[in-house]
């Protein structure tokens, strides 16, 4: 069994205690982080290695960006990807190889992605941040469409900053005019999904009309009572892994941990042998 977690940690140094708790709670093989807010020199590599993750693919950047892949198993072909002509630390990838002892039966490409938030105004003509968000998603779609094949085993995870379905937000009508749930963002994300016919593992397991959230604003005095959430954090897989899905879980209780991130982790467990034994 291979377990993979994605979490927008909102500062890895500030939430090292939470990361340690998550590692102990789940014993995940791979933890992908977004918004680490640490450049390469400041990234807490040794502390994370002590948690059981000595193999690390890090694309560091201070303040708002930064992504990472933390692994109990050796990582190969680590690559930091740039989109839209910017050197932002928003996309890093690595490969797990069965020859290294990793619990996979073929080379598995893992990508940790952090899509720009897009600002407040959902109009690319007046809001450069929103225009960049749409351009970024399109660039990532082109990246996958041109650089990989439909038979490649891949897991793409991260904070996509888009809640695509009506049940991915607390109020579909109100949020359809708010950045993260507008028709233009949803269409862009759908194009990215079609690039390799990705499968949204949460919606593969949970019916599309059942509410699922992974983010709750810090502004709510009682986020759980208000429950005005959005599903911004995603795990997608390519079709060769569809039969390998064993379990998917949104770890909502993590939102209570202090100091909290406004995002919670999403966990995927894969059984790499399922397609062979019919499970």
Sequence length of the chain is 279
pLDDT score recorded for residue 245: 97
Strand 91-96 relative to strand 108-114, pairing: antiparallel
Does pLDDT of 240 surpass 50?
yes
pLDDT score recorded for residue 220: 85
pLDDT score recorded for residue 263: 98
Chain centroid to CA 201: 12
pLDDT score recorded for residue 63: 76
How far is it, in rounded angstroms, from Cα 73 to Cα 77?
A: 13
pLDDT score recorded for residue 275: 60
Nearest by Cα to 18 from 30, 3, 31: 31
Please tell me the pTM assigned to this model: 0.96
Angle at Cα 96 formed by Cα 93 and Cα 100, nearest 5°? 145
Q: Where are the domains of the chain?
A: 2-277
Q: Give the number of other Cβ atoms within 10 Å of residue 53's Cβ.
A: 22
Average pLDDT, integer, range 62-79:
94
Average pLDDT, integer, range 61-72:
91
User: At the fourth CATH level, which superfamily is domain 2-277?
Assistant: Endonuclease/exonuclease/phosphatase (3.60.10.10)
Which residue do the tokens 């569809």 mark? 242
Q: Is 209 exposed, middle or buried (0-12, 13-18, 19+ CB in 10 A)?
A: exposed
Summarize pLDDT for 118-136 with one digit per residue, the tens.
Answer: 999 999 999 999 999 999 9
DSSP string, 129-173: HHHHHHHHHHHHHHHHHHH--TTS-EEEEEE-S---SGGGBS-HH
Of all residues in the chain, the percent with pLDDT exceeding 90 is 93
Cβ contact 137:164 at 8 Å? no
Q: Give the number of other Cβ atoms within 10 Å of residue 26's Cβ.
A: 16
pLDDT range class, residue 55, cuts 50, 70, 90:
very high
Q: What is the mean pLDDT of the chain?
A: 95
Does pLDDT of 258 surpass 80?
yes
Summarize pLDDT for 152-206 with one digit per residue, the tens.
Answer: 999 999 999 999 999 999 999 999 999 999 999 999 999 999 999 999 999 999 9
- Enumerate residues 6+ apart whose C-beta is below 8 A from 256: none
């Amino acid at each position: 069994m291979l377990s993979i977690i994605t979490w927008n940690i909102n500062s890895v140094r500030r939430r090292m205690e939470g990361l340690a708790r998550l590692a102990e709670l789940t014993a995940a093989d791979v933890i992908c982080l977004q918004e680490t807010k640490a450049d390469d020199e400041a990234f807490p590599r040794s502390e994370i290695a002590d948690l059981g993750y000595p193999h690390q693919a890090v694309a560091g950047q201070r303040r708002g960006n930064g992504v990472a892949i933390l692994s109990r198993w050796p990582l190969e072909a680590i690559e930091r990807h740039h989109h839209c002509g910017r050197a932002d630390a928003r996309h890093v990838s690595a490969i797990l190889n069965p020859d290294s002892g990793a619990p996979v039966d073929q080379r598995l490409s893992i990508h940790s992605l952090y899509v720009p938030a897009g600002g407040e105004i959902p109009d690319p003509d007046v809001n450069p941040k929103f225009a960049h968000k749409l351009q970024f998603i399109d660039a990532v779609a082109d990246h996958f469409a041109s650089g990989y094949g439909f038979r490649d085993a891949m897991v793409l995870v991260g904070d996509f900053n888009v809640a695509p379905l009506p049940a991915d937000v607390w109020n579909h009508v109100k949020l359809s005019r708010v950045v993260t749930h507008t028709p233009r963002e949803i269409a862009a994300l759908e194009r990215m999904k079609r690039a390799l016919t990705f499968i949204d593992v949460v919606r593969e397991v949970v019916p599309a009309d059942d509410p699922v959230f992974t983010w709750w604003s810090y502004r709510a005095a009682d986020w759980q009572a208000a429950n005005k959430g959005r599903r911004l954090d995603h795990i997608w897989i390519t079709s060769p892994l569809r039969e390998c899905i064993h379990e998917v879980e949104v770890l909502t209780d993590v939102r209570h941990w202090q100091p909290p991130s406004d995002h919670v982790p999403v966990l995927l467990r894969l059984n790499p042998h399922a397609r062979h034994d019919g499970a």
